[in-house]
Amino acid sequence: MPLTLRYAARSDVGLVREGNEDSGYAGPYLLAVADGMGGHAAGEVASRAAIDELLNADQLPDGDPIDVLSAAVSAANGRIDDMARADPSRAGMGTTSTALLWNGVQLALGHIGDSRAYLLRNGSLTQITRDHTFVQSLVDDGRITPEDAREHPARSVVTKVLQGQSPIHPDYSIIDVQAGDRVLICSDGLSDVVTDQEIESVLARAHTVDEAADQLIATALDAGAPDNVTAVVGELVEADEADASGAAATVAAAYIVGSAAEDLQDAQPSEHQEDPEAMRYAPRARRRRRRRWLRPAITVAAVIVVGWAGLTYANGWVRDQYYIGTSNGQVAIYQGVRHELGPVHLSELYTVPGGLPLEALPTVYRHEVDATIATDDLDEAEQVIDTLRLRACRAHDSQTAPAGDGTAADEGDESDGAFPGLLCSE
């Protein structure tokens, strides 16, 4: 029996961020989430641009759905490039992009970044995307466990996003589905604070996709929601069931949420603001910030009560922290935290391992080191250095491999890289 797609989308700014850099879309054929990054309003611009291009694919695909999805993702990347060139203040902005395109039989998946897609079948949840992140590379190399990755201080460092650069290498695949399957696409604002077990429970128990999306956002908010949270939920149902429930009558409706919705709402004439269909495109009402006065009050009280003892403890804690930065063009380890209290610096250069120029790193890693990568201790900092060196050496080895030899650089290769000053051997 033919299947049809039910869908819902929700987005919330969260409890810490001032603005929403997430954008989401749910329509009869397309489900998508874009999580922007770049700061200075650039992240929300990038996610908006991605969704604006992707929603052009929200129709029954004429041909291979992966080709249709790939063209939309490439268009989004090109648009981000054009916008960054037109406004230098937006240089470096980017966005994740995770989308599912329904062709009436299967779902085509296109994914780049650390937003996630999940499939719930018979009450069991499976992650159907792979995070393009620094910590995922550590997991792949066997350096940390998936459980460690959830708490790793560099877990938000992405290795692939839409940033206007070419070529791009998203992951594409076909997902076979059956009646009763539910799918979820979410930003890391959900998956970072809500476990897979909790997601599975919510998706399995919710009676409708709207209820599932609402409960997922509420669960993230209850967990503290330090980041923007976006959830797009789809469900495959038999076509006659959809007709009986009245879903067929509204099949053309769509949800646009997050930053893209705020942009759309601003563009709508005021006389349409109360129209029920128009309001479907508006972001969900934000929860009131919880006790915004509480943190400053506690901070002041703690300083008064703890006094010098607190400062002594804080100094000891700061000296136990390490982060990755640069010194004279070389990747370096710093002791402390990258903050200042007036004229007092809270960090100092600990060591320059040598043989690892910043410019030798792939672009994504270079940007992250420029912004500094926090670590829990010295061992972890040295582990990050080792991984950065390995990534740099692999990148330059692959660029200098003899043309036409049909082989890629061996991941265990420890030979000197081609980049000046890059040392890949002991």
Q: Are residues 166 and 87 in the same domain?
A: yes
The SS3 call for residue 186 is strand
Q: Which amino acid is at 319?
A: R
pLDDT of residue 366: 85
Residue predicted with more confidence, 319 or 420: 420
Q: Are residues 357 and 266 in the same domain?
A: no
Q: Are residues 128 and 198 in the same domain?
A: yes
Q: What is the CATH number of the domain that holds 220?
A: 3.60.40.10
pLDDT of residue 152: 86
Give the pair of three-digit tokens for residue 189.
């604002």
Q: Are residues 202 and 333 in the same domain?
A: no
Domain hosting 241: range is 3-279
Asked whether residue 284 is assigned to any structural domain, the reply reads: no
User: Does residue 407 have a pLDDT over 50?
Assistant: no
pLDDT of residue 114: 96
- Residue 379, number of CB atoms within 10 A of its CB: 10
Asked whether residue 63 is assigned to any structural domain, the reply reads: yes
Lowest mean pLDDT among 7-16, 191-200, 391-400: 391-400
Going by pLDDT thresholds of 50, 70 and 90, the confidence category of residue 362 is confident
The average pLDDT across 165-170 equals 93
Q: Which among 174, 169, 218, 229 has a CA at the least distance from the CA of 362? A: 169
Asked whether residue 262 is assigned to any structural domain, the reply reads: yes
The average pLDDT across 242-266 equals 66
Give the pair of three-digit tokens for residue 164.
């206007």
Q: Are residues 384 and 268 in the same domain?
A: no
Summarize pLDDT for 168-180 with one digit per residue, the tens.
Answer: 999 999 999 999 9
Q: Are residues 258 and 341 in the same domain?
A: no
Asked whether residue 286 is assigned to any structural domain, the reply reads: no
Q: Are residues 257 and 360 in the same domain?
A: no
Going by pLDDT thresholds of 50, 70 and 90, the confidence category of residue 399 is low
Asked whether residue 416 is assigned to any structural domain, the reply reads: no
The SS3 call for residue 10 is strand
Q: Are residues 37 and 125 in the same domain?
A: yes
Q: Which among 207, 281, 186 has a CA at the least distance from the CA of 6? A: 207
Q: Are residues 36 and 180 in the same domain?
A: yes
Asked whether residue 42 is assigned to any structural domain, the reply reads: yes
Going by pLDDT thresholds of 50, 70 and 90, the confidence category of residue 265 is low
Q: Are strands 255-258 and 322-327 parallel, antiparallel or unpaired?
A: unpaired
Asked whether residue 248 is assigned to any structural domain, the reply reads: yes
Going by pLDDT thresholds of 50, 70 and 90, the confidence category of residue 402 is low
* pTM beyond 0.85: no
Asked whether residue 183 is assigned to any structural domain, the reply reads: yes
Domains contained in the chain, number: 2
Q: Are residues 258 and 124 in the same domain?
A: yes
Q: How far apart are the first and last CA of the chain?
A: 63
